[in-house]
Amino acid sequence: MTSVPTSARTDEQVVTAEDSAGLNVAEAHQLAADIIRNVESVIDGKHSAVRTALTVLLAEGHLLIEDVPGVGKTMLAKALARSIHASVSRIQFTPDLLPSDVTGISVYNQAERRFEFKPGAVFANVVIGDEINRASPKTQSALLECMEEGQVTVDGTTYRLASPFTVIATQNPIEMEGTYALPEAQRDRFMARISMGYPDETAELSMLAARNVSTPLADLEPVVTASALQRMMASVRDVYVSPAVKAYAVRILRATREHPDLRLGGSPRATLQLVRAAKSFALVQGRDFVLPDDIDELAHAVLGHRLMPTSRALGHHQHTDELIRDIIDGIIDETVVPPSHTTGT
Amino acid sequence: MSGTKTVAPERRVAARPPQRQQASRARTARTKRRADIFARRANGRRLWPVTLGTLLVYLVAISTLSPLLDGPSWWLGVALLGTVILCSAASTRSLGAPTGIGTLIGAAVWLAMLVLFFASDTALGLVIPTWDTVEAFRGLTADGLRSIGRQGTPAEADLGIRFILAVGAGTFAILADLSAIVFRMPALVGIPLVAIALVPGFIIGEVNLIALALCAAAYLVLLWVDTRARQSARKRPHGMLGIGAFAVIGSLLLAATAPGYNGESLFQTSGGSSFGRGVSPLADLGKDLRRPGGARQFTYSTTTDESLYFRLLTLDQFDGTTWSASRASERVLNEPDLLVDVPGLSTEVATEPTTTTVEVGSMVAPWIPVPFPSVRVVGLSGRWLWDVDGLTLSSRLSSANGQSYIAESVLIKPTREQLIAAPGAYPSEVSRFLELPPDIPQIITDTAREAVGDATNGFDKAYALQHYLRSTDFTYSIEAPVEDGYDGDGFDVIARFLEKKSGYCVHYASAMAIMARTLDIPARVSLGYLPGDRLGGAGERRNYTVASDDLHSWPELYFSGIGWVPFEPTPGRGSVPDYAVSTASDESTAGPNDLDSANRDPLEQAPTGPDAEAPTASQVGENEAPLGLFVALGLVALVIVAVPALSRIHRRRRRFRSIAAGRAGPTVAWEELLESSVDFGIGASEAETPRGFAARLSGSLVLGDAERESLARLLDSVERLRFSLGATPAQGATLVADVTRLQRAMATNATLPVRVRARFAPASVLGGTYSRRPAGVPRPL
């Protein structure tokens, strides 16, 4: 049986790129809080994951959610998408999914006697790629190319994707069967990777109490318009990053490259995305400047999936993730925040 | 087809997570442990230079004890001990043990070495102590203390002394290791260092500037090495170095110059270079003189109502520079029934048999005080030898300390007529008391001839000399000879004394004895005590107490048929014997009982005996309560205690002033807050963000609303200042108030010991701003 390759939701209007002026910090903070509250009404006890997801969304990055099945990966992606008044499409990745299912295909129109382009699932503001590691590498790379380029080229014609454009992909842990691990070059395209983790006891109990309805998502109303989202994204671009914080981010990334237990450190793209994510995170927190703590907070999510341990270091660990977590913690603990650009008053 | 594939693994996975989590937690713990061990090993290796610096301080510190002990072998032993202790501690750390365990191992090695070298026969397998070992140690300690009490300096380092040294030096090594490496406050090593460096000063009363300078240098090397070893994680090393150096050098200098400690030794390092031998056994007279205080030496009760002079030693030989006790006279072992003869005494002279019971307190000397002339002494412990000419008792091994004995003496009561009638010819055995070196200064012979005038017989001449010296031309002064540089008892000194006419008992006694010899009257100098203070006791027994400021010396002249007759030429001291009392009214100062202690000569000369061991050296430590020394030590302790605290307070005030004046802002306020948290053991790390610190602070303290608000305000200010654009953070008084409020909160949250440490040994001063990293954070060093 073949799952439905695309289920593009067309009931939402596709928002296109338009330059909008940024909101002020307080407004942006308020909207962010609204979105988070909305998403949390269907996902209990996952504040940090929700916040990070929103951060990535506002930073115009793509998010990879990785965890065992049943912890709410897809729920998070959907809830976030629904909270925004924007177009959402969902792709269920399977081994037989074709690249054209993702990007779209030219079909011959008998009536009009010409080829016409049938847009694929990526033509939406929020694209949910479910179980992305079940698809063949070929299909994976088709999506990832879209993510990087922001456009699709079919039969020599280039089609621009929507803006904002965010892919929220979910995947099962790579150790599991029937999966094709994402190559590191492609993982690098995701701004951040998060794990949901199991809910704690209280959260799980309250989930049982609240989830009488089988489809809680159906009740979820959008709280932000696409244009407001655009303006929030513009605000993110205005968040101030002091030279000290920039230097701090660079130090951390350089440390990953020099770390003896790492085969592959963070790329310059990682540096860029870390700082961009930190700006967005600062705005979500209601600040118009970035703190080193924002960098620390996001380092795991932004760097975790990009670092590769040496096989020697891995020898002592069975779990790459834990090793990487320890390494990042160690780097954060030892990296000194550079002195500020001003002193005294 | 993909359905089965997807479902099956999911079901399997779904069953796994709980174990996986547990397993991963165990793995993480294991990894952490491994990482910790690796970090500790690296840390241990980096700490080696600090250990070597500590060892250097240790070696220099024990070397300062050189003037007190004989020979180099003890030094080698103690040096080996410290080296092994410190190196075993450091090696343990290099193998990955926590720093504290290193010190524990060092202490265990120390104990094992003590057992091995001092009591291996009582131990299991040579090093494991048993109850017998404890007993053996107790015995060794007692031996050592006894030996210290008995011996002069430099003392022979016998087993007991070596044991005490090994215990003391080991303690020093462990304390130094603990402060420098475990507490990472090498500046604290200065406290035991100063304590050890001051010991020779206490015992021989002399500060060796070279030794102190070496101590200070070694200390600075340690601070420097430590700073370098920890530089990666440290700010402000110079501050710490400076403060530490100031504390130790300052206190050492203070020790060298403090009044009462040793006023004159600042530029006098020749007296006993600490690394060579030889504290001069000739105790410095001036030093004794000017030493304040007068400790009780002995008490006695006697049957006579005469004033008894007690003598320790007779100085019968004069070589032109000093009087000394020759070995010419016969020595006889004292037995309870031994009755010695009084040399030269004929039966015509009236005598008064007297019994005196003496109880010596803490007076360490190889002689015992006996009245002159004693003929029998009963009750002494140890092996004592009579000097049959001087009628004194000395011992090579025993000490007067704690002795209690009965001396029988025959007080001679010659009449003036008998003395005048004594013939001018002397027996041959007395002729050595006439010997004088040929280079006698003219002024001495001239003065003698002048003073005697036309007197013809021996006694008149003697009386004239005494009369001359007690005349109003002469003044009693213990300071003048020192100030004018003629302290001592040689020819030059006496010549100057006769010119200046000012001096103390040694000068008078020596002058009279030398002049008597120039006039062909056999003469010698006695060293001992004045009769002391009457305590009471009626009828048969009279009780007296004698203190160290009753030390005295006086001349004795020989008259044929009568023997040795004491005189008292020192004005204002002692009592003139009946036979020598002036018949005229010019002897105003010499009442027979002129014993007002306020006028006493507080000084006495120590003899230069061929026995060459300095009694004075040990007497100084034991007898003359060194009030000044305690004051000096107190000052030193105060300086050491106060410097870090004052420095911290100063830094805080300076910061608050700049903030209040608008010259500084949140950054400085935050710095102050970080330092306080270091002081209170909450810690601050350079790699920690302000927000991280604030979170940890509010997590580790119980804060009220006002404090939370202050913390939030401070944090906001410092974050805005450092990381945002165009911020206008809090200023002046608000900042100071916020910081003060949080500091108070830290104090109220801390236990008393932590509060005391924060005030008097603030880690931020002793170890730099970022000396402590928060718990759980691996530290670079």
Instruction: Chain A: give the shortest CA distance to residue B684, in Å.
Output: 12
Q: Tell me how many domains chain B contains.
A: 3
Q: How far apart are alpha carbons B257 and B632 in whole angstroms? A: 9
With cut-offs at 50, 70 and 90, classify the pLDDT of residue B284: very low
Q: Which residues contact A309 (CB under 8 A, 6 or more apart)?
A: A261, A262, A263, A317, A320, A323, A324, A327
Binary contact (A1, B721; C-beta < 8 A):
no
With cut-offs at 50, 70 and 90, classify the pLDDT of residue B780: very low
What are the chain A neighbours of B663 within 8 Å (beta carbons)? 344-345
Binary contact (A1, B686; C-beta < 8 A):
no
What are the chain B neighbours of A173 within 8 Å (beta carbons)? 13
Residue of A131, A240, A334 to mutate, testing the B interface (most B Cβ within 10 Å of its Cβ): A334
Tokens describing residue A264: 């592959």
Q: Which residues contact B228 (CB under 8 A, 6 or more apart)?
A: B49
Q: How far apart are alpha carbons B775 and B240 in whole angstroms? A: 23
Same domain assignment for residues B578 and B682: no
Quick check: B731 contacting A, CB < 8 Å? yes
Quick check: A136 contacting B, CB < 8 Å? no
With cut-offs at 50, 70 and 90, classify the pLDDT of residue B466: confident
Instruction: Chain B: give the shortest CA distance to residue A155, in Å.
Output: 31
Range of the domain at B171: 47-229+263-272
Ranking A13-22, B19-28, B240-249, B520-529 by mean pLDDT, the lowest is A13-22
Reply yes or no on whether the pLDDT at B621 is more than 60. Answer: no
Residues B356-384 have a mean pLDDT of: 82
Sheet containing B551-559: give its strands across.
Answer: B370-371, B310-315, B523-529, B551-559, B563-566
Instruction: Chain B: give the shortest CA distance to residue A23, in Å.
Output: 18
Q: Does B469 fall in a domain?
A: yes
Binary contact (A242, B723; C-beta < 8 A):
yes
User: Phi/psi of residue B351, each to 5°?
Assistant: -135, 160
Same domain assignment for residues B545 and B656: no
Residue of B4, B6, B770 to mutate, testing the A interface (most A Cβ within 10 Å of its Cβ): B6
Confidence (pLDDT) at B619: 38
Residue of B232, B724, B731 to mutate, testing the A interface (most A Cβ within 10 Å of its Cβ): B724
The 3-class secondary structure across chain A, one letter per residue, is CCCCCECCCCCCCCCCCCCCCCCCHHHHHHHHHHHHHHHHCCCCCCHHHHHHHHHHHHCCCCEEEECCCCCCHHHHHHHHHHHEECCEEEEECCCCCCHHHHHEEEEEECCCCEEEEEECCCCCCEEEEECHHHCCHHHHHHHHHHHHHCEEEECCEEEECCCCCEEEEEECCCCCCCCCCCCHHHHCCCCEEECCCCCCHHHHHHHHHHCCCCCHHHHCCCCEEHHHHHHHHHHHHHCECCHHHHHHHHHHHHHHHHCCCEEECCCHHHHHHHHHHHHHHHHHCCCCECCHHHHHHHHHHHHCCCCEECHHHHHCCCCHHHHHHHHHHHHHHHCCCCCCCCCCC
Binary contact (A345, B34; C-beta < 8 A):
no
Residue of B12, B688, B722 to mutate, testing the A interface (most A Cβ within 10 Å of its Cβ): B722
Residue listed under structure tokens 């809080």: A33
B781: nearest CA partner in chain A: A334
Instruction: Chain A: give the shortest CA distance to residue B30, in Å.
Output: 9
Q: Does B13 fall in a domain?
A: no
Same domain assignment for residues B429 and B392: yes
Same domain assignment for residues B608 and B683: no
Binary contact (A340, B10; C-beta < 8 A):
no
- Say what percent of chain B tops pLDDT 90: 4
B53 and B180 in contact (C-beta within 8 Å)?
Answer: yes
Same domain assignment for residues B267 and B301: no
Binary contact (A334, B1; C-beta < 8 A):
no
Tokens describing residue B652: 């805080």
Q: Does B200 fall in a domain?
A: yes
Q: Which residue has the higher pLDDT, B212 or B590?
A: B212
Residue of A132, A291, A324 to mutate, testing the B interface (most B Cβ within 10 Å of its Cβ): A291
Q: Does B28 fall in a domain?
A: no
Instruction: Chain A: give the shortest CA distance to residue B7, in Å.
Output: 10
Q: How far apart are alpha carbons A148 and A142 in whole angstroms? A: 10
Angle at A30 between CA A28 and CA A34, to 5 degrees: 115
Same domain assignment for residues B423 and B517: yes
Final residue before a domain boundary, out of B240, B272, B304? B272
What are the chain B neighbours of A342 within 8 Å (beta carbons)? 721-722
A85 and A38 in contact (C-beta within 8 Å)?
Answer: no
CATH of the domain at B758: 1.20.120
Instruction: Chain A: give the shortest CA distance to residue B1, in Å.
Output: 6
Same domain assignment for residues B593 and B460: yes
Quick check: B661 contacting A, CB < 8 Å? no
B28: nearest CA partner in chain A: A322
Final residue before a domain boundary, out of B221, B237, B272? B272
A222 and A84 in contact (C-beta within 8 Å)?
Answer: yes
Q: How far apart are alpha carbons A101 and A104 in whole angstroms? A: 6
Tokens describing residue B582: 């002036």
Quick check: B781 contacting A, CB < 8 Å? no
Same domain assignment for residues B474 and B361: yes
Binary contact (A291, B777; C-beta < 8 A):
no
Q: Does B618 fall in a domain?
A: no
What are the chain A neighbours of B689 within 8 Å (beta carbons)? 291-293, 296, 337
Q: How far apart are alpha carbons B263 and B206 in whole angstroms? A: 9
Residue type at B30?
R
Residue type at B437?
P
Q: How confident is the prediction along chain A (345 residues), in pLDDT tens digits per residue?
A: 333 333 344 344 444 444 456 678 888 899 999 999 988 888 877 888 899 999 998 998 999 988 887 788 888 888 888 888 888 888 888 888 888 888 888 888 888 888 888 888 888 888 888 888 888 888 888 888 888 888 888 888 888 888 788 888 888 776 566 677 777 777 888 999 988 888 888 888 877 777 665 667 777 888 888 888 888 888 998 899 998 899 999 999 999 998 888 888 888 989 999 999 999 999 999 988 999 999 998 999 999 888 888 888 777 666 778 888 888 888 888 888 877 554 333
Instruction: Chain B: give the shortest CA distance to residue A112, in Å.
Output: 38
Binary contact (B13, A289; C-beta < 8 A):
no
Ranking A50-59, B230-239, B507-516, B708-717 by mean pLDDT, the lowest is B230-239
Q: How far apart are alpha carbons B294 and B251 in whole angstroms? A: 27
With cut-offs at 50, 70 and 90, classify the pLDDT of residue B204: low
- Say what percent of chain B tops pLDDT 70: 74
Same domain assignment for residues B303 and B215: no
Angle at B515 between CA B513 and CA B518, to 5 degrees: 115
Q: How far apart are alpha carbons B695 and B690 in whole angstroms? A: 9
Instruction: Chain B: give the shortest CA distance to residue A195, in Å.
Output: 14
In a 10 Å sphere around its CB, with 0-12 CB exposed, 13-18 middle and 19+ buried, how is residue B405 labelled? buried
Q: Is residue B169 helix, strand or coil?
A: helix
Instruction: Chain A: give the shortest CA distance to residue B139, in Å.
Output: 55
Quick check: B726 contacting A, CB < 8 Å? no
Same domain assignment for residues B723 and B607: no
What are the chain A neighbours of B687 within 8 Å (beta carbons)? 332-337
Q: What is the mean pLDDT of chain B?
A: 74
Binary contact (B719, A291; C-beta < 8 A):
yes
Q: Which residue has the higher pLDDT, B226 or B669?
A: B669
Q: Residue B476 forms beta bridges with which residues?
A: B503
Residues B668-672 have a mean pLDDT of: 88
Same domain assignment for residues B658 and B584: no
Quick check: B734 contacting A, CB < 8 Å? no
Tokens describing residue B237: 């090393």
Q: How far apart are alpha carbons B716 and B670 in whole angstroms? A: 11
Confidence (pLDDT) at B630: 64
All domains of chain A in start order, with CATH: 1-237 (3.40.50.300), 239-335 (1.10.8.80)
Quick check: A344 contacting B, CB < 8 Å? yes
Q: Does B22 fall in a domain?
A: no
This complex has an ipTM of 0.79
Nearest CB to B778; choose among A288, A330, A342: A330
Same domain assignment for residues B53 and B194: yes
Q: Residue B500 forms beta bridges with which residues?
A: none
Q: Does B746 fall in a domain?
A: yes
Q: Which residues 49-68 of B are in CB contact (within 8 Å) with A?
A: none
Confidence (pLDDT) at A273: 92
Quick check: B663 contacting A, CB < 8 Å? yes
Binary contact (A322, B27; C-beta < 8 A):
yes
From B317, B486, B306, select the one nearest B390 (Cα to Cα): B317
